[in-house]
Amino acid sequence: MISRATDDATVSGLYIPSTPNNVLWGLLPCGDDPPIARIRSGDIITIDTVSQEGLMEDQGRDPISWFRSRGMNPSFVLDDAIDIAKNYPLRNLSLAGPHIVTGPIEVANAMPGDILKVEFLSFLPRVPFGVISSRHGRGALFDEFPSASQIPLGDASIEKPGLISAICTLEERFGMQHLLLAPRGSLPPIELPFAPFLGLVGVTPISKTRLNSIPPGEYGGNIDLRDLIAGSVLYLPIQVPGVGFYVGDPHYAQGHGEVALTAVEAPLRATMRLSIIPKKRAKELVGTLTRPFAESSEYWYCVGLDRDLSEAMKSAVREALRFLTERFGLQREEAYLYLSAAADFIVTQVVDNVKGIHCQIRKKDFRSYLE
């Protein structure tokens, strides 16, 4: 039986729905935006996130019609998705990204210089399917796939040319949940691992205006780091008093690189614990953090960001050097040699204008330092 978020039994702590009043579509909150909720450090929150796929303007902004045209049961279309598509104000598409962003959430007594610790406790799927899309002018091969004039695979009366979308169904096989992508024709389905996470997690940037949701930055945002699954931890340097935490862009799976433009986009019930780490204590844990940093039980993740992929690589190397020298006292040259011999540098994504590369450092290599 597939475990889905269907009732209050799957809610922990403060529950926050993604209603039109609680979201920004395509924009990040700024310092002038009032919080949609207030919590204390250490509190647990559960947010019902909404995916933008099936709601977008080039898909007709009518999720019931769009998913029905793809052979999906309209009863699975979420009420909050219908409500946002119907009632959220028309967007300026030249300024706004695609993501439905829930927030901001205020954390009491948080100040710039402190660190927000986000512990991802659980992710539950809200529907038994997800969507992968490619749009002309976007993605790694932005001028090749799809062509600007290509007729959609779905209902051409609903979708605009230059958009290709595919449905992945969530099914149980051999006691585990998997995603199945069915090619056209008589080919068998392709089986994808179900590994849910939030592509967009951040704190309110220092800005008097709302920023586009697409590019990530030192505030986090749309970092698309697929390793931020349940059990992982993300650290974000707080930019404004009160944090202004927000989430969006829920995924059922993603490949490193996210080359076609999207991952398997689908709504999640996300449960997280938010804690404030004071500046002095934060330096002992992660050093002088100025950008997103993450960890799992096995790895530390140092994030590099830049519009140029080569510069993003250099940024990731410098961030890994900073962490190793500040946390463990290594000389910079020694840390550089270690990274070359043992660390993995992975392309996070190449589709968000600001590209990402993250360095993956094994914790077990530093067992003697941690004992």
- Domain CATH code at residue 338: 3.10.28.20
Pair 209, 324 in one domain: no
Pair 123, 18 in one domain: yes
Closest CA relative to residue 294, chosen from 212, 202, 196, 371: 202
Residues 232-269 pLDDT 10s: 999 999 999 999 999 999 999 999 999 999 999 999 99
Pair 203, 338 in one domain: no
Pair 88, 161 in one domain: yes
Final residue in a domain of this structure, among 276, 311, 339: 276
User: b/e per residue, 205-225, with b = 16+ CB within 10 A?
Assistant: bebeebbbbbbbbbbbbbbbb
In a domain, 288, yes or no: no
The residue type of 65 is S
Q: What is the pTM of this model?
A: 0.95
In a domain, 35, yes or no: yes
In a domain, 281, yes or no: no
Which tokens is 305 given?
Answer: 């960001």
In a domain, 167, yes or no: yes
Pair 233, 359 in one domain: no
Residues 293-322 pLDDT 10s: 999 999 999 999 999 999 999 999 999 999
CATH number of the domain encompassing residue 31: 2.60.120.580
- For 306, the domain range is 298-370
Pair 194, 229 in one domain: yes
Pair 127, 27 in one domain: yes
> Cis ω on the peptide bond leading into residue 146 (within 30° of 0)?
yes
Residues 190-233 pLDDT 10s: 999 999 999 999 999 999 999 999 999 999 999 999 999 999 99
Residues 281-296 pLDDT 10s: 988 888 899 999 999 9
Pair 357, 222 in one domain: no
In a domain, 292, yes or no: no
| Cβ–Cβ under 8 Å, residues 356 and 258 | no
Angle at which helices 279-286 and 309-328 pack, to 10 degrees? 100
In a domain, 146, yes or no: yes
In a domain, 284, yes or no: no
Contacts of 191 (CB under 8 A, 6+ apart): 173, 178, 179, 180
In a domain, 234, yes or no: yes
Pair 32, 66 in one domain: yes
Pair 218, 314 in one domain: no
Local confidence band at 176 (pLDDT 50, 70, 90 cut-offs): confident
Pair 147, 223 in one domain: yes
Residues 85-102 pLDDT 10s: 999 999 999 999 999 999
Query: How many domains would you assign to the chain?
Result: 2
Pair 272, 327 in one domain: no
| Cβ–Cβ under 8 Å, residues 212 and 265 | no
Final residue in a domain of this structure, among 246, 276, 306: 276
- Pairing relationship of beta strands 100-107 and 37-39 according to DSSP bridges: parallel
Residues 25-52 pLDDT 10s: 999 999 999 999 999 999 999 999 999 9
Final residue in a domain of this structure, among 241, 276, 311: 276
